[in-house]
Structure 1
Amino acid sequence: MTVPTFASVPPLAARARSVGGSPVRDILAVTARPEVINFAGGLPAPELFDAEGIADAYRAVLAEVPERALQYSTTEGEPVLRAALAERMSVRGLATDADDVLVTTGSQQALSLLATALIEPGDTVLVESPCYLAALQAFGFAGARVVAVPGDDEGPDPVALEELVVRERPKLLYTVPTFQNPTGRTMSEGRRAAVASVAARCGLWIVEDDPYGELRFEGERVPWIAAHEEVRDRVVLLGSFSKVMAPGLRLGWLRAPGGLRRACAVAKQAADLHTPTVNQLAAARYLADRDLDAHVRRVAEVYGERRDAMLAGLAEALPEGSAWTRPEGGMFLWARLPSSYDTTALLPQVVARDVAYVPGAPFYAGDPDRSTLRLCFVTQTPEEIGEGLRRLGEGLRGGRAGV
């Protein structure tokens, strides 16, 4: 009897084979034990969620308009939520109409939609150095050639940016200008104006991601790049409720010029048709019935105390010669150890002491600085932060630099 042979199935697409998963998610899977003090995840503090207010909003929507809340919706988003989002942006100095807004399933989806609408395989995308990990993934998955713009403590250097734009002819610059992930740094108003000027003169889209901007502990708010008149036709502003309301709602949005916004809507229609209706209506009801800004101020006050607790313990925890950022808001700070340290190699022995961080290397589009690491300071209490830093110091001292 002849045994039949079968051909192998066709391979995965090249983009699926070439783009890996998130190192942060991999670390969180390893450090999920409850005894681990986890500075690795970018997780908002769950005890600060306004669970009662959110539950009331869902109850009201399901009691009053169940036939609408449980039905299909338009791809662009529920009009009542788009109007509320437009009003919030207008109050903050960026005149916006509801029709300027596309609601997305988290701001992460906005990145994917923009990559679909703007990027052809082989196109160049410029990013900060270091850069938000999920943006590197989204652009890489689209087949982009991702190039880091040299910068400093304020972000991308405008002179280096212009040189790269002239030489590389990129499609876009991606930036998180306020309380950046991973560094916590903020672009000054002057730097933002200089970046906008480059985009206006040289022809460049700017994707301005602002998930953390409302979480300010100190200092004055800096206007969005999108508010600069000369780039209003070429800036996409991304926002999210994940850090100020709750990440489980999966509600984000993008504000974009008409042609690009419509292209993103077509891409979203193909991806998921629309963001869940009940979540959108509940968020809109929450905005109508509750004072989100007051809630955010309470959250920011707690986060500021936790940042201070981390800053107070870093000098003792980190090796002599280390440096770190002092963010005015957000969720993260960035540390650089002496150059002989490799934070990726040191991570296992730190995790063995029941504490975790994210090594800095994965945040770089180019050659990484392996002595860097990201610490999230918002998920733990000040007491837990102090204990976590004690463990971190033991872990770093227990290894050899450069292992």
Structure 2
Amino acid sequence: MTLAEHVEAVSAGSPLPPLATRVAEVGGSPVRDILAVTARPEVINFAGGLPAPELFDAEGIAAAYRDVLAEVPERALQYATTEGEPGLRAALAERTSRRGLATGADEILVTTGSQQALSLLATALLEPGDAVLVEDPCYLAALQAFRLAGARVIAVPGDADGIDPRALEELVTRERPKLLYTVPTFQNPTGRTMAAERRAAVAAVAARCGVWIVEDDPYGELRFEGERVPWIASYDGAGDRTVLLGSFSKVMAPGMRLGWLRAPAALRRACAVAKQAADLHTPTVNQLAAARYLTDRDLDAHVARVAGVYRERRDAMLAGIADALPAGSTWTRPEGGMFLWARLPESYDTTALLPRVVKQDVAYVPGAPFYAGEPDPATLRLCFVTQTPDEIAEGLRRLAKGLRR
């Protein structure tokens, strides 16, 4: 075909090559789709996983940006190293060490949100067809990241205390997975926390059977009550095979898109190579502003204030949930984090009911998309941190009306 013939064919509407199959198979996020539908201001939205914007320390963050741009603009607006700004890595290492896991700055890779960390790990570890083990149910965006990599995602049975270690070992032996992904503290979507003895058992399985653990901890600092449980990464046998993920999205501001991973050297270097191909580095000005904020402000005090407000909102949801849900429903009582998980009687399908509930100007997330295997259609997730106690009470009244038969 001559060039002229090619141009004529294109202009005549020749079909373009198709999109990658994995994109069509994985699809979009149901949570994002629900947020788009329920964006009307009159909707009381329990669907989003959004921190309360009125609690952002906007003044402190703005001051950090102003100072950085005034003092080192040539650095703040320039390219940076892939691994992250040294000052921020040092600060993150110090915070991690203070919380019980000795860490050096060189063990940290800064990412563009912890969601990018999941994508980098999927690129560095997974080949199409590899098995990945996840909790049941599981954080939805992690399922997306692993499925986009072509992995076989397999759910590990568990209960209110987290993953069942015996079932985990059986699956590791049978499926030979590359990794286990877990959010052990205030899990998304259930709000549950994995008990200490379960964490020790999971670490022991990983040590015996040879599997990576990806321990995601975006909510761990948002504790309202109870004692902090150590990271899995700190247990015997887990140190050389656990990747710990962290984020500023829930404790500082999600719009800064700042996360990090702590990983053994070889895997961390592989993730850095993957990051070079993805975005070269996380925005320099955001990193420098976060480092400045950690120097000038007391992030721990800010987090304590936020957690205090979130506790009041959790209590408001717990106070009204029994009247909002049908008789026979059950729900979790999280000790921190952002989410409450509920299960209605077996005759209910929360996906089918959602349009009727939205007509009452309230929204939740159906539980089905959070399952890697067979979903439980009677489940749903409620986020309790974005609304005030009065708004939560009104939202639960609307929810009761929408669920009423």
**TM-score bucket of the superposed structures, by smaller chain:** over 0.9
Query: Which residue among 221, 242, 245 is the counterpart of 2:249?
Result: 242
Instruction: Name the residue aligned to 1:253.
Output: 260
Deviation of residue 6 (structure 1)?
5.5
Corresponding residue to 2:327 among 320, 327, 345: 320
Asked whether 1:166 is paired with 2:173, we answer yes
Instruction: State the match for 2:339 in structure 1.
Output: 332
User: How far apart are residue 246 of structure 1 and its match?
Assistant: 0.3
Secondary structure at the residue paired with 2:202?
helix
Give matches, 1:306-317, under 5 Å. Answer: 306-317=313-324
Residue equivalent to 1:22? 29
Aligned partner letter, 1:257: P
Q: Map residues 264-279 of structure 1 onto 2, 5 A cutoff.
A: 264-279=271-286
State the alpha-carbon separation in 1 of the partners of residues 139 and 126 from structure 2: 18
Q: Which residue of 1 aligns with 2:297?
A: 290
Contact 2:204 2:236 in 1 (8 A): no
Root-mean-square deviation (Å)? 1.0
2-structure distance, mates of 1:133, 1:93 = 28
Q: Which residue of 1 aligns with 2:74?
A: 67
Give the Cα–Cα distance (whole angstroms) in 2 for the partners of residues 12 and 20 of structure 1. Answer: 12
Task: Give the whole-Å Cα distance in 1 for the aligned partners of 2:236 and 2:117.
Answer: 23
Rounded Cα–Cα distance in structure 1 between residues aligned with 2:21 and 2:387: 40
What per-residue deviation string (whole Å, max 9, x for no partner) do you get for residues 307-365 of structure 1? 00000000100000000000000000100000000000000000000000000000000
Answering whether residue 47 of structure 2 is matched by residue 40 of structure 1, we say yes
1:214 lines up with 2:215 in the alignment: no
AA partner of residue 280 (structure 1) = Q
Counterparts of 1:52 and 1:67, CA distance in 2 = 23
With structure 2 as the length reference, what TM-score do the two structures score?
0.97
Alignment partner of 2:123 out of 110, 116, 120: 116
Alignment of 1:191-206 (within 5 A): 191-206=198-213
| Number of the residue aligned with 1:96 | 103
What's the secondary structure of 1:231's corresponding residue?
coil
Once residues 189 and 223 of structure 1 are traced to their aligned partners in structure 2, the CA distance between those partners, rounded to angstroms, is 7
Tell me by how many angstroms 1:8 deviates: 1.8
Q: Distance in 2 between matches of 1:322 and 1:67?
A: 58
SS of equivalent to 1:230: coil
Name segments (4+ residues, structure 1) moved above 3 Å: 2-7
2:134–2:153: 8 Å Cα contact kept in structure 1? yes
> CA offsets, 1:113-170, max 9 Å, x none?
0000000000000000000000000000000000000111111100000000000000
Q: Give the CA deviation at 1:229.
A: 3.1
1:106 aligns with 2:113: yes
* Structure 2 SS opposite 1:236: strand
Superposed CA offset, 1:72-108 (max 9, x none)? 0000000000000000000111000000000000000
Deviation at 1:14, TM superposition (A): 1.6
Partner of 1:53: 60
Amino acid at match of 1:148: A
Q: Which residue of 2 aligns with 1:369?
A: 376
1:157 is matched with 164
Identity of aligned residues (%): 83
CA–CA separation in structure 1 for the residues paired with 2:319 and 2:290 = 37
Within 1, Cα distance between the matches of 2:22 and 2:270? 22
Q: Distance in 2 between matches of 1:196 and 1:340?
A: 38
SS at match of 1:34: coil
Q: Given the alignment of the two structures, is residue 262 of structure 1 paired with residue 272 of structure 2, yes or no?
A: no
Number of equivalent positions: 397
Unmatched tracts of structure 1, length 5 or more: none
Cα distance in 2 for partners of 1:223, 1:278 equals 32
**C-alpha distance after superposition, 1:206-252 (max 9, x if no partner):** 00000000000000100000111311110000000000000000000
Please state if 1:80 is matched with 2:92: no
State the AA in 1 paired with 2:371: Y
